[in-house]
Structures are given as structure tokens and as C-alpha cells.
């Protein structure tokens, strides 16, 4: 969870093993200030190509897709960038804004069941 107001909460959901692919996300939490560059890493237990989604979730709201594979959905600010392939992936926020505060997590789309 990222906050510009001094609050720190869980950044991601604990990886759960549902199938053959386990997703592990780091760091667990981080306090940042507006303008900071933020990097979130996600590692897959096996090769998933580029089949990864990144979600942002704010308190009381449904998750919002902010990046999938190498594509930024319409309406997502260009300060969000997803990169990586195979087993190692990164979501970068080039200049953190107060509105970016929330929880972030990755999900693989390579095989079923989908895992976070």
C-alpha cells in the first residue's frame, strides 16, 4: 500500500498457491512522497511470458486494471509503466502522486487458475 499521508498498509495480498504458478510481490509495504519514483516487483515461479496484469485498489473501491502485458489501458496516466517477461516483472510509477495511494498487486494470466 502506498500513501502520501504517512500511513503504511499492506502493499499486496499474500501469494497463494492455487495451481502451478505462484506470484511473489515485493516490497511488502512502502511509504513514499509525491514526486518519488516507485518500483514494485513481481516474480513468477515459472515462465509466464508477458501474461501479467497489474491492479490498483483504493479503499472501498473495486480493483482497477492499470497495466496488462505491455499495454497501458486507456485512461491510465503515463507515469505508470509495466515491464518484464518470463518470470520477472516490474510496475513503475515515475512520479508518485497523492491520488496513486492504494494497494497494488499483480496477477498472472498465463494459466488457470489465475493467481495473484
Closest CA to 11 of 33, 27, 24, 34: 27
Higher pLDDT, 52 or 1: 52
For the chain, what is the domain count?
1
- In the prediction, which pLDDT does 114 show? 60
pLDDT digits (tens, 9 = 90+) for 61-83: 999 999 988 899 999 999 999 99
> Does residue 17 fall inside a structural domain?
no
Q: Is the pLDDT of residue 116 over 50?
A: yes
DSSP β-bridge partners for residue 54: 67, 106
> Does residue 75 fall inside a structural domain?
yes
Q: Is the pLDDT of residue 38 over 90?
A: yes
> Which grid coordinates belong to 63?
480493483
> Does residue 113 fall inside a structural domain?
no
- Residue 30's domain spans which residues? 23-108
> Does residue 46 fall inside a structural domain?
yes
pLDDT digits (tens, 9 = 90+) for 79-115: 999 999 999 999 999 999 999 999 998 988 776 556 5
Percent of the chain exceeding pLDDT 90 equals 49
Instruction: State the chain's mean pLDDT as an integer.
Output: 82
> Does residue 71 fall inside a structural domain?
yes
Q: The cell 473501491 sits on which residue?
A: 61
> Does residue 49 fall inside a structural domain?
yes
For residue 83, give the CATH number of its domain. 2.60.40.10
Amino acid at each position: 500500500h502506498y500513501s502520501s499521508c504517512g500511513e503504511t498498509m499492506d502493499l499486496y495480498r499474500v501469494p497463494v498457491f492455487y495451481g502451478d504458478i505462484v506470484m511473489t510481490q515485493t516490497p511488502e509495504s512502502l511509504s513514499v512522497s509525491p514526486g518519488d519514483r516507485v518500483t514494485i516487483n513481481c516474480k513468477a515461479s515459472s515462465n509466464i511470458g508477458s501474461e501479467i496484469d497489474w491492479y490498483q485498489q483504493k479503499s472501498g473501491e473495486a480493483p482497477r486494471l492499470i497495466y496488462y502485458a505491455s499495454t497501458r489501458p486507456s485512461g491510465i496516466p503515463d507515469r505508470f509503466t509495466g515491464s518484464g517477461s518470463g518470470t520477472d516483472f516490474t510496475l513503475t510509477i515515475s512520479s508518485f502522486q497523492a491520488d496513486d495511494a492504494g494497494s497494488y498487486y499483480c496477477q498472472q494470466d498465463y494459466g488457470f487458475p489465475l493467481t495473484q
